[in-house]
């Protein structure tokens, strides 16, 4: 029997995302913001965040694949889908569900670095520092969760549980 233990409630998510949207709306008010969501996991967080921003912005997506078992990030990250909007002169905010080892976001920052963006920052729903292997500057985070394998609010375990409205630690 799979055991799900709630670590961030729906109410805490709503409050956290609203606070973050307020900060981002203030920080980017005179900028030219493009949110770049990392598929698949970021789709729910990005949808909530984008709808709470009070400034104009564009939305695009990238998709990466990392090879490994369902509950472990692995070392090899490859690009599956690139950004389609031109980023020259834009203020790009990479939006990700979770940063764990840091390998995906380190790869994406490097990948997007040559696009002529005016700025490139990182926004995550969850920062999980336990297994970080690459230092990545996280400019905006909603929740710091020390450890555990998490599901819900976009986070999956082998493509399951993504649509759960809160964040749970899963214990197989």
Minimum distance from residue 155 beta carbon to Mg ion (Å): 8
Q: If contact means CB under 5 to 8 A according to the sort of partner, which of ligand IMP, Mg ion, none does residue 91 touch?
A: none
Among 14, 59, 62, 13, smallest CA distance to 40 is for 62
Q: If contact means CB under 5 to 8 A according to the sort of partner, which of Mg ion, ligand IMP, none does residue 103 touch?
A: ligand IMP
43-52 vs 10-27: helix crossing angle, rounded to 10: 60
Question: Whats the size of the chain, residue-wise?
Answer: 172
Tell whether residue 152 is a contact of Mg ion (CB under 5 A). Answer: no
Q: What kind and span of H or E run contains 14?
A: helix 10-27
- 46, 93, 103, 117: residue in contact with ligand IMP (rule CB under 6 A): 103
Please pick, among 97, 100, 127, 156, the residue that the annotation labels catalytic: 100
Q: How far is CA 157 from the centre of its chain?
A: 16
Tell whether residue 41 is a contact of Mg ion (CB under 5 A). Answer: yes
Tell whether residue 127 is a contact of ligand IMP (CB under 6 A). Answer: no
Active-site residue flag, 91: no
Q: If contact means CB under 5 to 8 A according to the sort of partner, which of ligand IMP, Mg ion, none does residue 100 touch?
A: ligand IMP
Among 105, 115, 102, smallest CA distance to 38 is for 105
- 8, 45, 101, 142: residue in contact with ligand IMP (rule CB under 6 A): 101
6 to each of 64, 71, 126, 167, 169, how far by Cα in Å? 27, 18, 14, 6, 6
Residues that are catalytic: 100
Residues making contact with ligand IMP (CB under 6 A): 41, 66, 73, 96-104, 128, 149-150, 155-156
């Amino acid at each position: 029997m799979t055991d799900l233990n709630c670590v961030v409630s729906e109410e805490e998510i709503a409050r956290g995302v609203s606070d973050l949207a307020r900060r981002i709306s203030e920080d980017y008010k005179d900028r030219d913001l493009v949110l770049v969501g990392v598929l698949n996991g970021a789709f729910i967080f990005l949808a909530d965040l984008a709808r709470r921003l009070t400034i104009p912005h564009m939305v695009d997506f990238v998709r990466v694949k990392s090879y490994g078992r369902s509950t472990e990030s692995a070392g090899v990250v490859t690009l599956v889908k690139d950004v389609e909007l031109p980023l020259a002169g834009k203020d790009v905010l990479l939006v990700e569900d979770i940063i764990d080892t840091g390998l995906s976001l380190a790869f994406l920052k490097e990948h997007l670095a040559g696009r002529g963006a005016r700025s490139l920052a990182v926004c995550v729903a969850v920062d999980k520092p336990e297994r970080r292997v690459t230092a990545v500057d996280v400019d905006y985070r909603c929740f710091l969760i020390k450890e555990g394998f998490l599901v819900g609010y976009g986070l999956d375990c082998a493509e399951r549980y993504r649509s759960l409205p809160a964040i749970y630690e899963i214990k197989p």
